[in-house]
Amino acid sequence: MRLFNLLSCDQSGSGRGRGRGESDDCVTFTTFSSRPLVGIWLLLALTLVGLDQAIKYVIQVLISLNASIKITSFFNLAYVLNPGAAFSFLADAGGWQRYFFIGLGLAVSVLLAFTLWRGVRNRLETAAYISLIGGALGNVIDRLRIGAVVDYLDFHWSGWHWPAFNLADVFVIGGAGLLFLASLASQEGSSRRGVDKMPRRPLTGDQNGGSNS
């Protein structure tokens, strides 16, 4: 649990040095807030969008629609269009999902960007928001441009294929995973601070080895 100890120290936002009796696992950091550098965080998110779109462009140039190139015995580079969400969720819904996912992706991106602007005091959570914004906008651009998402990562085994996905999907799943880790770190940090604030009962004479005669 050393990782979560370090993260929970960061979560607390404490810039204090380690006091007497504090654990060596607790490494303190200066107070962190995403707000002063919100422009940089959003630029990083847009960089992820650009990377996603660049790879999709190369895939569309090199591979014909619904074709694939064998890379290994279990992985192909493919070019398929997915009108649904990640891993082909709601791909056969009938068309309404295009506008639903465009609206959802834009709404989530705006909300997360606003949250970064207000100030997030956790580095993991900040990284998660950057990844989620990049992934959401990457797929929104596809839906606006061609009405479906370009998927190209095709993993398979013994004739069974996992639904194709793309880098934007990886950003979304990775961002969700980072949020989960940030939540665990926050809970552990709160527990540690709660224990530190518990009042300590004074030692009685018997507990202190008896009174001196």
Selecting among 154, 169, 196, 206, the annotated active-site residue is 169
CA pair distance 171, 149, nearest whole angstrom: 14
Residue 176 has pLDDT above 90, yes or no: yes
Q: Is 32 helix (H, G, I), strand (E, B) or coil?
A: coil
Selecting among 10, 142, 151, 154, the annotated active-site residue is 151
For the stretch 21-54, pLDDT in tens is: 444 444 444 468 888 889 999 999 999 999 999 9
For the stretch 143-173, pLDDT in tens is: 999 999 999 999 999 989 899 999 999 999 9
For the stretch 11-21, pLDDT in tens is: 444 444 444 44
Domain extents for the chain? 33-181
Question: Is 92 annotated in the active site?
Answer: no
Among candidates 154, 122, 99, which has minimal Cα distance to 41? 122
Question: Is 169 annotated in the active site?
Answer: yes
Cα 151 to Cα 155, 169, 172, distances in angstroms: 12, 9, 14
pTM score of the predicted model = 0.73
- pLDDT computed for residue 98 by the predictor: 83
Q: Within 13 Å of residue 150, how many CA atoms lie on the same side as its CB?
A: 25
Give the confidence band of 74 by pLDDT, cuts at 50, 70, 90: very high
